[in-house]
Structure 1
Amino acid sequence: MSAPSKPALAASQERRFLVLFDFDETIINESSDDAVVRALPDQKLPDWLINSYREGHYNEHMQKVLAYMAEQGVSKDSIHLALVKIPPTPGLLNLLQYLQNHRQDFELVVVSDANMFFIETWLEQAGVRNLFQKIFTNPASFDASGRLVLLPFHSHSCPHCPDNMCKQVILREYLAKRQKERGGAPFQRVFYIGDGANDICPSLALGPRDTAFPRREFPMHKLLLEMQQSQAAEFQANMVPWVSGEDIVDCLKRMMEER
């Protein structure tokens, strides 16, 4: 095999930024799990099912919810309709438009504790599925009886994350894989956009040149503020809270000008 040409080497090492998105209450403006419950005949779960939730075992709980919905006769079409009605977070589509206009600079990935059917359904109806190189989420597919069967994404040993997903493990493995594929060239900067408590763990894998974008006044923002105030050494990244996707666009534009 011949050695790669100089242009090919340059292409593999071109300046590229990695942008990771959470899904629920980050790309969309509510929880997709809550939204699909509205497809039930009475649009709510029974108390016994709500009360069966065990801390740290949310994936297991959603498996029960989806089984219950199937028992109540909720169809795939009904779930699909509930999903496509979910509004995007304010300014989020403008952010995605900006990133699409600069595709040569940004690689986009979703890392979410929702599931593949929910995420792909929404992204496809919004016309933005093709922007994302990879979606890391829990597998979900309809079985022969019409029930949406949910599975855990992976197992891990992180004591801080739900039993089915550690987003930091996902991020570190993806960065290592992509660096190898890029001929040893790491991303120049990594941006992580999220809102929830489970977005803290991946934020701790970010370095001083990277940026965490927590949704303002949501759990991720409040927890990162506590870390900054306690001068917790494990959080090294810059923090830029956001209310609208335009806030993130403004920050990315400034960073693009710096180069």
Structure 2
Amino acid sequence: MMRDSVFNCCVSPPHPPGGVEEPQQRSRAQAPPPNDRRFLIFFDFDETLVDECSDDSMVTVAPGGVLPGWLKDTYRPGRYNEYMQRVLAYLAEQGVTPVAIRGTVEKLPPCPGIATLMHFLLSQPSRDFEVICVSDANMVFIETWLQHLGFHPLFLRIFTNPAHFDDNGQLQLRPFHSHECLRCPANMCKAVVVRQYVAQRVRERGGRPYQKVLYVGDGANDFCPSLTLSPGDIAFPRCDFPMHKLIQEMEEAKPGEFKASVVPWNSGEDVINTLRKILERP
């Protein structure tokens, strides 16, 4: 977690090996992305789109609905991705099928108002919003859930940990990338993803920036990418969740250091209200 040092996180980390455009992270085929969108909006997944941690939901398909103590004891801070690889291997050994895993993910409830927000974005003219998911969950969980609810077409890209079911039915999970940010999990620094994606897209747009970059999240690892936002951009932290508290702490300790506007949300409808306002402006 990052609470031990709020302000030393990801503001200018060195570039990690590789860029964000790994083939596994493309949510669609290699069609060129549209370059006429006015706004770029990023969404986290766990506790932002879905109202719980998708990894935690896997406990419900374990025998007896619990994980054995010896397995839970293998967790190490900052190494959750490696821990989940062991959890998924254990589930496969216990005979938990891909159907059971997908079915559990499909049942994850959306956060309050998120379905309304997704439908709002789907209803907007195509030139308005370029929508991206950046998450420390995994590709199978995210795509399964988005497809089940019909929201997958909205997302131009999904940046998350690669995952696939192997021939034995085990969900194989890999880290997204390596990085040098000391405050983020070893497998993903979202600030690196957001910074590199924005820079790449602006180049592809002939140097034309977006009118605004927006970030909707909840967790401590969503605080990092919110620091990459510029004045005029908007951070949407979920009320009273770690991202919100870290922003508040920074604003109290270093007024003006956090550059973006901050709009806390309890419901996706809070986000819609702000989006309606920016759409009304020329």
The interval holding the TM-score normalised by the smaller chain is: over 0.9
Structure 2 match to 1:180: 203
Following the alignment from structure 2 to structure 1, what is the Cα–Cα distance between the partners of residues 255 and 99? Answer: 47
Q: Note if contact 2:175-2:188 (Cα within 8 Å) is conserved in structure 1.
A: yes
Q: Is structure 2 residue 70 aligned with structure 1 residue 70? A: no
In the other structure, the counterpart of 2:221 is 198
On the 8 A contact 2:122/2:154 being kept in 1, the answer is yes
Deviation string 1:86-105 (CA, Å, 9 cap, x unpaired) is 11111001111111122320
Deviations 1:48-79 (A, max 9, x none): 21121111111111101101111111000000
Structure 1 position 255, deviation (Å): 1.5
Query: Secondary structure of 1:32's match?
Result: coil
Partner of 2:82: 60
Corresponding position of 2:280: 257
Deviations 1:92-138 (A, max 9, x none): 01111111122320000000000000000000000010100000000
How far residue 41 of structure 1 moved from its aligned partner, in angstroms, is: 2.3
- Could you say which residue in structure 1 is the equivalent of 2:156? 133
Match 1:219 to one of 229, 238, 242: 242
Aligned residue for 1:38, secondary structure, equals helix
| AA at the equivalent of 2:164 | S
Partner residue in 2 for 1:164: 187
Alignment of 1:235-254 (within 5 A): 235-254=258-277
The answer to whether the 8 A contact 2:251-2:257 is kept is: no
Taking structure 2 as the reference length, what is the TM-score of the superposition? 0.85
Unaligned runs of 5+ in 2: 1-33
Match for residue 50 of structure 1 among 47, 62, 72: 72
1:8-157 pair list within 5 angstroms? 12=35, 14=36, 16-102=38-124, 103-157=126-180
After superposition, the C-alpha distances for 1:192-224 in whole angstroms (9 at most, x for unaligned) are 000000001100000011111000011111111
- Secondary structure of the equivalent of 1:223? helix
How many angstroms does 1:258 deviate by? 2.5
Cα RMSD of the aligned pairs, angstroms, is 1.3
CA contact (8 A) 1:204 1:234 kept: no
Alpha-carbon distance in structure 1 between the residues aligned to 2:260 and 2:107: 35
| Identity over aligned pairs, percent | 55
- For 2:254, give the aligned amino acid: Q
Higher RCO by CA contacts (8 Å cutoff, separation 6 or greater):
2
Aligned length: 248
Deviation larger for 87-96 or 46-55: 46-55
Q: Structure 1: give runs of 5+ residues left out of the alignment.
A: 1-10
- Give, as a single letter, the amino acid of the residue that structure 1 aligns with 2:192: V
